[in-house]
Amino acid sequence: MEQPGWKFEYSYQKLPSNLFEPAYPRKVKSPKGLIFNEQLASSINLDIDSLMSAAGIDSLSGNTLPKGAVPIAQAYAGHQFGNFTNLGDGRAILLGEHRVSDEKIVDVQLKGAGRTPYSRNGDGLAILGAVLKEYIFSEAMHALGIPTTRTLAVVGTGEYVQRQKLQPGAVMTRIASSHIRIGTFEFACRGDVSTLKELADYAIKRHYPELINIENPYIEFLKKMIDQQAYLVAQWMSVGFVHGVMNTDNISISGETIDYGPCAFIDEYDLRSTFSSIDRRGRYAYGNQSKIMYWNICRFAESLLPLLYPNDIDLSIQVAQDILRTFPNIYEAYWQQVFCKKIGFDSVTANAVQLVSELLEIMHDQRLDFTITFRQLARGTLNHPALQDWVKAWQLELLESNRDLTSTSKLMQVNNPVVIPRNHVVASVIEDVETSGDLKPFLDLLEIIKNPFSEEFSGHTLAFPRPDGVPQTVTYCGT
C-alpha cells in the first residue's frame, strides 16, 4: 500500500487508549475496484495508477494493510435524537493519517470493513447503494464549495449484505480532516479530566494551531466551533441540503459535513422538509438545522467545562453561556450573507434581507422548487405570476443600489446551482447499478454533479423539478 505515495502517521493512537480500540478489516471475497476519485487522489499527492492496481484494490478493500499500520476504531458518545448513548465506530476502521504536506494531514478510513468492538449487534458492513450515495452527495457538496469529507475509492466485495433485502456489499475509503466529533468530547468528558485535556489539546493542535499559545485556548476553541458550525449550516441552507441525522456523533469538530446517511436536497421550498425514515417528528427537518446545531454546540460546551476554568466551575458555566449566546447572531449573519448573494447583493442590507424573506415566503406558499427558482432569477427568466410584483421590487432595489447588472448576474450564477443531486434521480440510478452492475449511468451522473453551476446541464433531469406523481424519496442510514 506504500506504492501510491501513502505517508502514514498514527498520532491519534498516541492519545489515551480508552478513546479507541484496535480493529482490523475483515477479508472480503472478491475485491473489485469500482470507482476511484482521481482529483482527490491528486490533491493529496497519491498516485492514482497505483491505487487502481490489483495491489491497490486489495489494500483499499482491507485485505492487506499498509506496512506498520495500527488500525483502530474510535470511541465516542452521542446524543441521538436527543438521547445520550455511548457509541463508537461500528463499521469504520481508521487506517491512520496520511501526511499530505508539512501543514496538512488527513484521516484515511475504511467504511464497511467489518465488525469492530463498537459494532454492538451490527455486522459492520456497508451496502453498495449507501456507499454510492455518500460518494455522489459528498462530491456534490465539494463542487458547491461546502466543507465536506470525501470518498477516495469504492471497492466491491463480491459479497451480499442483508438489509431490507440482500444487496451488494462495498468498502469505501473516506478522507477527512479528522473523524473527531462532538460526540468524541462527550465521551472523553465522562472519564478522567486528563483524557479530555489531551483530546482537546490534540484537536486544537491539529485543526486550530493558531490557538496553541494563547492564554485560554479552550475558550477560543469553543468560539471557533461556534463560528465553523454556524457557517456550515448556513451553507447547507443556501443549497437546500438536509443532513437528516444531526446527532452529536455526526458533527465533526473540523467543520466538515460528515456521515451522509439519510441526507437529501429539498425540491419544493418548505422548512418542514424531512426525508429520513427514522425522523418521524421532524427533529432534523430543513428549517430546524440551525437550532439543532446550536443545541449540539451546547453539548460540546458542556464537555469543555472542566477545562475552561478548572478551579471555578461556576465561572466556566457563566463564560460558556455568554459565548453560546453568540451563536444565533453569528448564524444569522452567515445566512444573510449567502442568501443576499443568491439574489445578487454582495453586501447585506436591510432591504436585501427583506427581499429574501419575501421571496422565500412566496416560494413556500406556491410550493416552488428551491433550486430552480433561484437559478431562474440568476438567468433573468423568473416569470411566475405570483412573483411579478416581487421581481419589480427586486429590480428597483438593484437600480437604486447602483448595482452593475453584469456583476450581479455573475454573482447569482456562482451562488445558485443549475443542478443538485435530485433524490429521485440518484435513487433510481443507484438502484439500476445494484440490479445491473453497470456503473456508467452513475459515473455520467457524477460528472454532471461535479459541475453544478454549468448551464451546459440545464436540460438534464437534475435541473428539473420532481415530476408530478413521483413521491418524495424516503432515505435510510444504510446500516
Same domain, 169 and 184: no
Determine, yes or no, domain membership for 133. yes
- Joined grid coordinates for residue 166: 440482500
CA-nearest of 337, 360, 179, 384 to 270 is 360
Cβ atoms within 10 Å of 157's Cβ, excluding its own = 27
Residue numbers of the domain that contains 190: 180-416
- Joined grid coordinates for residue 226: 461556534
CB 369 within 8 A of CB 420: no
Same domain, 108 and 184: no
Give the domain-ending residue among 366, 390, 416.
416
DSSP code for 249: G
Same domain, 266 and 239: yes
CA-nearest of 309, 193, 209 to 254 is 209
Determine, yes or no, domain membership for 264. yes
Same domain, 76 and 124: yes
Residue keyed to cell 493529496: 44
Same domain, 329 and 399: yes
Determine, yes or no, domain membership for 423. no
Same domain, 241 and 359: yes
Distance CA 100, CA 77 (A): 29
pLDDT score for 67? 81
pLDDT score for 1? 44
pLDDT by residue, tens only, the chain of 479 residues: 456 889 999 999 999 999 999 999 999 999 999 999 999 999 999 999 999 999 999 999 999 998 888 899 999 999 999 999 999 999 999 999 999 999 999 999 999 999 999 998 899 999 999 999 999 999 999 999 999 999 999 999 999 999 888 999 999 999 999 999 999 999 999 989 999 999 999 999 999 999 999 999 999 999 999 999 999 999 999 999 999 999 999 999 999 999 998 999 999 999 999 988 888 888 999 999 999 999 999 999 999 999 999 999 999 999 999 999 999 999 999 999 999 999 999 999 999 999 999 999 999 999 999 999 999 999 999 999 999 999 999 999 999 998 888 889 999 999 999 999 999 999 999 999 999 999 999 999 999 999 999 999 999 999 999 988 777 777 766 54
Determine, yes or no, domain membership for 65. yes
**Cα first-last separation, the chain:** 28
Determine, yes or no, domain membership for 447. no
Determine, yes or no, domain membership for 21. yes
- Report the amino acid identity of residue 83: N
The enclosing H or E element of 280 equals none
Give the domain-ending residue among 145, 176, 207.
176
Reduce the DSSP state of residue 93 to 3 states and report it.
strand
pLDDT score for 404? 85
Rg (CA), the chain: 23
Same domain, 159 and 225: no
Which residue out of 107, 249, 279, 369 is catalytically annotated? 249
Same domain, 155 and 216: no
Active site residue 249: yes
Same domain, 160 and 191: no
Q: Which long-range contacts (CB under 8 A, 24 or more apart) does 356-362 make?
A: 358/390, 358/393, 359/387, 359/390, 359/394, 360/269, 362/386, 362/387, 362/390
Same domain, 166 and 197: no
Same domain, 214 and 296: yes
pLDDT score for 352? 97
Q: Is the pTM of this model over 0.75?
A: yes
Determine, yes or no, domain membership for 2. no
> What's the domain count of the chain?
2
Determine, yes or no, domain membership for 421. no
Give the domain-ending residue among 363, 397, 416.
416
Same domain, 227 and 374: yes
Distance CA 458, CA 180 (A): 39
